[in-house]
Amino acid sequence: MDHILSQEKISKIYEQSTREVTERTSGIRLSQGIATLRKEVCTVYTNFGQNVHSGIALCAETELFTRLTKQMMRVEEVDFQDIEDFVKEYFNVLCGHIAVALFRDTKTAVRFEIPTFYRGQFRPENQSESWTLHFISDQDEIADLIHYKAIDKADNSNTPPQTAEH
Amino acid sequence: MINYEKRLKNMGKQVMIVDDSRVMELQMEAMLKDTDYEIAAYCRNGNDAILRYDEVHPDIVTMDILMPGMDGLEAAQAILDKHPEANIVMVSSLAYDDTMEEAKAIGAKAFIFKPFDQEQILAAFEKTLGETAE
């Protein structure tokens, strides 16, 4: 994917899809901005399969994922299992939209794996962070959408460790 | 104006939901509440759907595509091989033309994209049952 489209084009697709899907599923409005994750975070991740060899993670303050879950469930109280289930489904929808948008430009059908959810920050094995989009919600919660690309085999010694519990 | 003929025709129609996420279960429960459709079964994967179809014989199946193990297209194919009359609505966020073509070729009656709302799912059900009745 990184070889077919420019980073600028891919990041625009990521940014638009994230804003649109988030608002449609939960009513939460995100905008791009420079901000650093400050509080407890969780990460949802998937790997784009087949010949693409890249991954995407959304690392967000738990408060944002909690609010997103409440909005999707239309309830006042949620537990951690609710958050995990709803965030995975939300991310599944988001990745579907990204994949379809990428297909329009590349004519390459991108498939992705079932998302996994982690408490804390997560870095996938054999992939390195390529670039990150920073988002701020309408209630000042912060989220980073991170694009990972495969590390060349010769460079595997630099693989960052996984840092979160699944 | 309420179409009473249509309501009568759809009254108490049984829906089987196939999706690995319980999110779909909760959302469908909310969307189908107070409608002419009732949820007859939930299945978490394609294999379960094939087994449960024989027991439940639902009027409509909503089938997710991306699931662990057997995916939704394979499960739909298996159900339709055995029950060509099955009314299957594919539900996915992955709206590739070739995926939709594959679903149509298998015999799925409709394709709904996530995220969807109540109006969209009810329209898909009505279309599906309308085609069957014709």
Q: Please write the tens of the pLDDT for every residue from B31-65.
A: 999 999 999 999 999 999 999 999 999 999 999 98
Closest CA to A55 of A133, A129, A147: A147
What is the secondary structure of A94-143 as a DSSP string? HHHHHHHHHHHHH-----BPPPEEEES----TTEEEEEEEEEEETTS-EE
Site from A75, A92, A97 to mutate, B interface, most B CB atoms within 10 angstroms: A92
What does the alpha-carbon distance between residue A130 and residue A135 come to, in Å, rounded to a whole number?
Answer: 17
What does the alpha-carbon distance between residue B45 and residue B32 come to, in Å, rounded to a whole number?
Answer: 21
Chain B residue with Cα closest to A87:
B23
What does the alpha-carbon distance between residue A80 and residue A86 come to, in Å, rounded to a whole number?
Answer: 10
Q: Which residues of B touch A93 (CB under 8 A)?
A: 93, 114-115
B56 contacts B16 by C-beta, under 8 angstroms: yes
Angle, in degrees to the nearest 10, between helices A62-73 and A7-26: 50
Q: Which residues of A touch B20 (CB under 8 A)?
A: 114
The reply to whether A109 touches chain B by the CB within 8 Å rule is yes
For residue B110, give both structure tokens: 């409709």
Contact between chains at A114 and B20 (C-beta distance less than 8 A):
yes
pLDDT tens track of chain B, all 134 residues? Answer: 445 555 555 568 999 999 988 889 888 998 999 999 999 999 999 999 999 999 999 999 999 988 888 989 999 999 999 999 999 999 998 878 788 889 999 999 999 999 888 999 999 999 999 866 55
At A157 the pLDDT is 42
Q: How far apart are the first and last CA of chain B?
A: 23
What does the alpha-carbon distance between residue B79 and residue B58 come to, in Å, rounded to a whole number?
Answer: 12
pTM across the whole model? 0.82
Residue B114: phi, psi to the nearest 5?
-80, 145
Q: Could you report the average pLDDT of every consecutive run of 10 residues in chain A (166 residues)?
A: 76 95 95 87 89 86 97 92 95 93 84 91 88 95 93 52 48
Q: Is A104 exposed, middle or buried (0-12, 13-18, 19+ CB in 10 A)?
A: exposed
Per residue in A97-137, pLDDT (tens digit) is 999 998 888 887 788 888 999 999 998 888 888 899 999 99
At A163 the pLDDT is 46
The reply to whether B87 touches chain A by the CB within 8 Å rule is no
What does the alpha-carbon distance between residue B130 and residue B9 come to, in Å, rounded to a whole number?
Answer: 10
What does the alpha-carbon distance between residue A60 and residue A66 come to, in Å, rounded to a whole number?
Answer: 10
